[in-house]
Amino acid sequence: MKVLVIGASGQIGAWTVKDLVDHYDAEIIAADLSLERVKKLAQQVGKENVTPIKLDATDPGAVRAAGKGVDVIHNSAWYELNIKIMPVAIDLGVHYSDLGGFYDHTLEQLKYDKKAKDAGVTCVLGMGSSPGITNVCGAAGARKLDSVRDISIYCSWGTKVKSDNAAFPTYSIRTVLDEITQEPGIVENGKKKKVPALSGMTEVLMPDPAGKVVAYYVKHSEPATMADFIGKGTKNVSFRIGFPANDFTTFKTLAQLGFGSTEQINVGGFSTSPKDFITAMYLKSVEASREAGQSVEDFDYFRIDVDGTKDDKDARVTYYVKTWNDLEKGLPSARDTSVPPSIVADWLVKGKIDRRGTLPPEACIEPEPFFRELAKRKILVEEEMQQTKTYY
């Protein structure tokens, strides 16, 4: 299998490349803006499988040249690039996946469904942990119920030993800032609507050591697709993050200082935007932390509640998705986002995904085999079912 990974030296992309090589012996074209960074990645993987190339994915001609002859193109760079890369993959007749379109881009990408079908390709939209594993959990829960009312998704992360130090964000600070400053979409009473960022505050019980967390609506792709693709009468879909308290304060301060802005400012004769500046600082620390290794045990958790009815009684199916970093093997907890695209590339090539078009994960991934593949990488999915019993 040959895969073009774009954004390959990023925090998520680098581990996707490693998983593709380690688990499937895949041949990888590792593409990024910086040739130096992907060369370093190829050295770290330490096999002949990885060919590093410099690529600016805003240039469709360059993506076309790099993607010719590959089986799958995976975009692990910014979600804004999905809409530039995916049409090239469809034109080339090559399968495609990405890590999510941040709600609005996902809705745009779905408009390419017919083109993808006509080209005989599958474009899997939002195939990380969330969106990604969370969507598949929603679909798995819906299969166990006769009708679905609500799908409520929660995310939290943190460290085993609580510390006053701010944790390192497990994904790009650019995305975190977008999440907490832009209006989230939810599905309410069967209709998609936008609500204020960080509204919908609620308490939710996550597995230990997270415990009870305060969670807020943030912008995510799941509510863009899950009601439509899961069906069964689904009326409400929401996504909330329960940030660790220290991190939440840090992120809110950065947002209030304007680091989420893309407006150009002049600093010492150079022009840049606060968002580009903080992203560059973040990427520098990602590289340094990868070289230094990890010293703290951290977790990434999701909870997905699917509420509805079974045999005319109220019922709930809950999924817990749990990932810990592995200090001995140097694996980050963020592998829950890096691994799903690797499994999907294998399944696309082996024909285990045979539906064509632009599809979110809930529409094309078989849940139980997928959960078992995740378990091989110690990404643990647990399912609980509760059904109301009445004596009247």
Ligand X SMILES: NC(=O)c1ccc[n+]([C@@H]2O[C@H](COP(=O)([O-])OP(=O)(O)OC[C@H]3O[C@@H](n4cnc5c(N)ncnc54)[C@H](OP(=O)(O)O)[C@@H]3O)[C@@H](O)[C@H]2O)c1
CB-count burial class (<10 Å; 0-12, 13-18, 19+) for 262: exposed
| Segment near ligand X (CB under 6 A); pick from 4-12, 20-28, 197-205, 245-253 | 4-12
User: Which H/E stretch holds residue 122?
Assistant: strand 122-124
Is 286 among the residues that bind ligand X (CB under 6 A)? Answer: yes
- CB 110 to ligand X: min, Å: 16
Q: Can residue 284 be called a binding residue for ligand X (CB under 6 A)? A: no
Site map (CB under 6 A) of ligand X, residues 114-133, x = contact: ------------x-xxxxx-
Tokens of 239: 């996504």
172 in contact with ligand X (CB under 6 A): yes
Residue 371 is a binding residue for ligand X (CB under 6 A): no
Q: How far is the CB of 203 from ligand X (least distance, A)?
A: 23
Among 21, 55, 92, 254, binds ligand X (CB under 6 A): 55
Stretch in the footprint of ligand X (CB under 6 A) among 11-19, 235-243, 267-275, 366-374: 11-19
Confirm or reject binding of residue 283 to ligand X (CB under 6 A).
Answer: yes
Binding marks (x or -) toward ligand X, 309..348, rule CB under 6 A? Answer: ----------------------------x-----------
- Contact call for residues 318 and 384 (beta carbons, < 8 A): yes
For ligand X, which residue of 45, 79, 260, 274 counts as binding (CB under 6 A)?
Answer: 79
Nearest residue to ligand X, using CB? 10
- 171 lines the binding site for ligand X (CB under 6 A): yes
Q: Of the candidates 10, 138, 185, 341, which one interacts with ligand X according to CB under 6 A?
A: 10
Task: Round to whole Å and give the CA distance between 308 and 310.
Answer: 7
Among 3, 4, 9, 29, binds ligand X (CB under 6 A): 9
In degrees and rounded to multiples of 5, residue 272 shows phi and psi of -155, 170
Binding-site size, ligand X (CB under 6 A):
33
Q: What does the DSSP assignment read for 261-309?
A: ----EEETTEEE-HHHHHHHHHHHHHHHHHHH---S-EEEEEEEEEEEE
Q: Which two tokens stand for residue 249?
A: 């304060």
Q: Per CB under 6 A, does 6 bind ligand X?
A: yes
Nearest Cα to Cα of residue 72 among 268, 348, 310, 258:
348
| Least distance between ligand X and beta carbon 248 (Å) | 17
Q: What's the one-letter identity of residue 389?
A: K
The secondary structure of 164-207 as a DSSP string is SSPPPPSS-HHHHHHHHHSPPEEEETTEEEE--TT-S-EEEE-S
Find the distance separating the first CA and the last CA of the chain, reported in whole Å.
59
**Sole binder of ligand X in the list 3, 4, 13, 180 (CB under 6 A):** 13
Shortest Cβ distance from residue 33 to ligand X (Å)?
Answer: 4
Packing angle between helix 82-92 and helix 60-67, nearest 10 degrees? 40
Number of Cβ within a 10 Å radius of residue 368:
12
* Residues found near ligand X in the complex (CB under 6 A): 6-7, 9-13, 32-34, 55-58, 76-79, 81, 99-100, 126, 128-132, 171-172, 175, 283, 286, 337
